Structure 1
Amino acid sequence: MVKKHSAIVLFLLAALLLFAGYLFYQTQQEPNGQRPPARAVAVKTTEAAIQPLARQVNALGTGLANNSVQLIASSSEYLTYLNVIEGQSVQRGDVIARLNDVEQRARVAELQAQLTEQQRQLERLKNLAATQATAQSMLDEQQTRVNTTLAQLESAESRLRQMTIRAPFDGVLGLRSVSQGAYINSGSVITTLDDISVLRVEFNVPERFIAELSVGMPVTIGNVAYRNVDFKGEIKAIDPRIDPVTRSVRVHGVVDNQDLRLRPGMLLNVRVTLTNQDVLMVPENALVPLQNRQYVNKVGTDNKVTQIQVQIGERIPGWVEIVDGLSEGDEIIIEGVQKVRTGVTISRVE
């Protein structure tokens, strides 16, 4: 048993001596005992460059009709005429509906006849007054009667006009809510009328952009129903008040809609172009995020890497603005960033 343990010890000592000899041999082969230089890491690089950047604000908006009303009955009466073809375009002044107006027409005719007779009597009294054949008081009384009847006639004609419902502006009729011949109450909705030849777009913009907003700025509108179509418009109005809850300002834009493809109530994607300027840009995949900071790997003239912190600005798909930390022409790593660190030597690949 003792001999067996002795053999194991001798074997381990021999192995240790062989390993020490190997290390000594390797040291003798390397000049001055230094290790050979590490192999360069293959990466892909590019240069930070000045490029034009259009600063944009993206928002969700809602489509609104340029003008929109509900056409309602002014009094309770039978609906004797209905000219509503749903979805039809109408012109301002077109008759949409008419209520039973027989009584109003008779009242107007009665007052017109009464006014004619009173005016005839007034002219006769004026002639007599000119020759002092009648008292001035009788002339004044007759003038009062004429004025009273004239006021009653104007009121009756106004009520008669209200029995006919006309389009107040050019637009498109909506769905009808009543049928011809029905008895409807005052205030009943007959149909709707919308002017959508120009569509208003309501959206909110964060308050930090308010200094850059102005009436007339171009806007681009999109909708999921028309995936590859951009509708061009402009800002029409900016609310003077800031919403204290959302800290945003309400903006109205307008877009031409003569083909009526956009409709009120649509959810719209809105892009507002604020400014166009030249800025320093780098590919987005050059960034190395660390906690709340952003870094890039800059390549020096000796092909060695230095990781530096940068301050970023606006982002667009695939690119990011560098506000501070880089200069135009600086070489940075865009592929292989995970394989390098400060002090590493790199080799470039196409």
Structure 2
Amino acid sequence: TQIESLRAEVSSDEAALVASQAAAREQQAIVERHTLKAPFTGVISERHAELGEWVNPGDALLELVATENLRFDFRVGQDNFAALSPDTPVQITLDATPDRPVSGRIDTIVPVKDPSARTFLVRVLADTANGDEPLRITPGMSARGKLNIDVGRSGVTVSRDAILRFPDGRVTVWVVNTAADPRVVREQTVSTGFEFNGVVEIVEGLSDGEVVVVRGNETLQEGQAVAILQGIP
């Protein structure tokens, strides 16, 4: 009958539709297998295969360099490891824009130190918004980082250049008697504590306000007269 004929035709069309859908899925799978999707936003820095070249699974085809969420890698002295945390603020100064420092935060502290340099790796994320004019940062740029570490105490600090260390374990600085005329120096034994970024904490031996020598201190003698070229007039 005509109804049965129409039913047979519908069944045939449905079977053809299912076959076409299966073929479409197969072609889509082929397309997806031949489509490379970047895992992050970036630019291609190097290409290892040419158009039409046969490659094997696992072969490197491209090198992709990220252009967003860039991080800075710094080497930090091992003495500062215990004082760092993900909340430690960092001030970053790009060598390309030294007049525009940006703030950052520690993202990762890699607890594996370099035994030869006695340092470990700290990875920092920077706030590149920097006001109305965002900074343009590209991979490979060099920068300097300044850590603001709270050691939980306050005290006297001096430049690392003021410290003299001797084989017998003594640590001294040369203190200037600014009240004398002419001004003379005396050698003062000190005990040091925390050290970071060229500054050394003096735990014992110096008082706040005392003037120490930071240049030429290796050849000074007790009671030698000196002239202050920079610092206290």
Query: Shared fold by TM > 0.5?
Result: yes
Q: Take 2:204 and 2:158, find their aligned partners in 1: how far apart are those partners?
A: 12
Amino acid paired to 1:254: L
Q: Choose the corresponding residue for 1:117, options 15, 28, 37.
A: 15
Which deviations, in whole Å up to 9, do the C-alpha atoms of 1:197-230 show, x marking residues without a partner?
Answer: 2211122222221111111211122232212221
Task: Identify the residue that residue 233 of structure 1 maps to in structure 2.
Answer: 104
Shift of residue 177, structure 1, vs aligned partner:
4.3
> Is it true that 1:172 corresponds to 2:70 in the alignment?
no
> Structure with the greater relative contact order (CA < 8 A, sep ≥ 6): 1 or 2?
1
Amino acid paired to 2:53: I
Change (3 A) 1:119 1:223: closer
> Is it true that 1:261 corresponds to 2:130 in the alignment?
no
Shift of residue 233, structure 1, vs aligned partner:
0.9
Which deviations, in whole Å up to 9, do the C-alpha atoms of 1:39-90 show, x marking residues without a partner?
Answer: xxxxxxxxxxxxxxxxxxxxxxxxxxxxxxxxxxxxxxxxxxxxxxxxxxxx
Shift of residue 154, structure 1, vs aligned partner:
5.2
Task: Identify the residue that residue 80 of structure 2 maps to in structure 1.
Answer: 209
Q: Take 1:173 and 1:304, find their aligned partners in 2: how far apart are those partners?
A: 63
Task: Identify the residue that residue 325 of structure 1 maps to in structure 2.
Answer: 205
Amino acid paired to 1:206: G
Q: Is the 8 A contact 2:91 2:102 kept in 1?
A: yes
Change (3 A) 1:297 1:290: farther
Amino acid paired to 1:224: D
Q: Take 1:178 and 1:272, find their aligned partners in 2: how far apart are those partners?
A: 40
Q: Is the 8 A contact 1:308 1:325 kept in 2?
A: no
Q: Take 2:189 and 2:106, find their aligned partners in 1: how far apart are those partners?
A: 35
Q: Take 1:239 and 1:284, find their aligned partners in 2: how far apart are those partners?
A: 27
Shift of residue 234, structure 1, vs aligned partner:
0.7
Q: Choose the corresponding residue for 1:295, options 169, 174, 196.
A: 174
TM-score (ref. length: structure 1): 0.41
> Is it true that 1:307 corresponds to 2:186 in the alignment?
yes
Q: In structure 2, list runs of 5 or more residues that go unmatched.
A: 1-11, 226-231
TM-score (ref. length: structure 2): 0.58
Higher strand share: 1
Which deviations, in whole Å up to 9, do the C-alpha atoms of 1:228-286 show, x marking residues without a partner?
Answer: 2212211001124334444432221111346462211223222222127532257999x
Q: Is the 8 A contact 1:235 1:254 kept in 2?
A: yes
Higher helix share: 1
Q: Take 1:218 and 1:261, find their aligned partners in 2: how far apart are those partners?
A: 21
Task: Identify the residue that residue 162 of structure 1 maps to in structure 2.
Answer: 33
Larger Rg: 1
